[in-house]
Amino acid sequence: MSHKKSFSIEYDFHASPQLLFQYLSTPSGLSEWFADNVNSRGELFTFIWDDTEEYAKMIQKKKDEKVRFQWQNDEKDSDKYHFEFKIQVDDITKDVSLIVTDFSDEDEMEESKMLWDNLVSDLKQVLGAS
């Protein structure tokens, strides 16, 4: 049985927390950079890539600060794993950071981090915040 490990990556952003939050928490925002298409019914989100659909539940949302999703799949222990977007603003410099937290199998950790690097790069392009 594989045991997934948590990892976090921090990215600097030149965008307001309010604008960034819209792209992390809404189907229209997420479909701009995270998936080909995103639909939601309340807390349940459907992420569509090519011919693949994945389902996730938004289990935590704090306006302009944090969003956490939990995959709704048949994998054993899937209720232990989530992915989270956290927006941090430096009190002094007002610099905005996005911290992505996810889980991955140890042998897939580098690929997972590269995937997030590419996704966040797309997000920065959409926001014009690179």
Instruction: Write down all domains in the chain, each with its CATH number in brackets.
Output: 5-125 (3.30.530.20)
If one compares 129 and 112, the residue with the highest pLDDT of the two is 112
Please name which of 59, 96, 101 lies closest in space to residue 83, comparing C-alpha atoms. Answer: 101
User: What is the strand order of the sheet 44-49 is part of?
Assistant: 5-13, 96-104, 83-89, 66-71, 52-62, 44-49, 37-41
- Going by pLDDT thresholds of 50, 70 and 90, the confidence category of residue 81 is confident
Q: Please state the pTM of the whole predicted model.
A: 0.91
Please name which of 67, 119, 64 lies closest in space to residue 88, comparing C-alpha atoms. Answer: 64
What pLDDT shows up at residue 1? 46
Please name which of 64, 63, 47 lies closest in space to residue 55, comparing C-alpha atoms. Answer: 47
Q: CA–CA separation, 67 vs 85, rounded Å?
A: 5
Average pLDDT, the chain: 93
Cβ partners under 8 Å of residue 20, min gap 6: 13, 87, 96, 98, 127, 129
In the predicted model, what is the mean pLDDT of residues 99-103?
A: 97
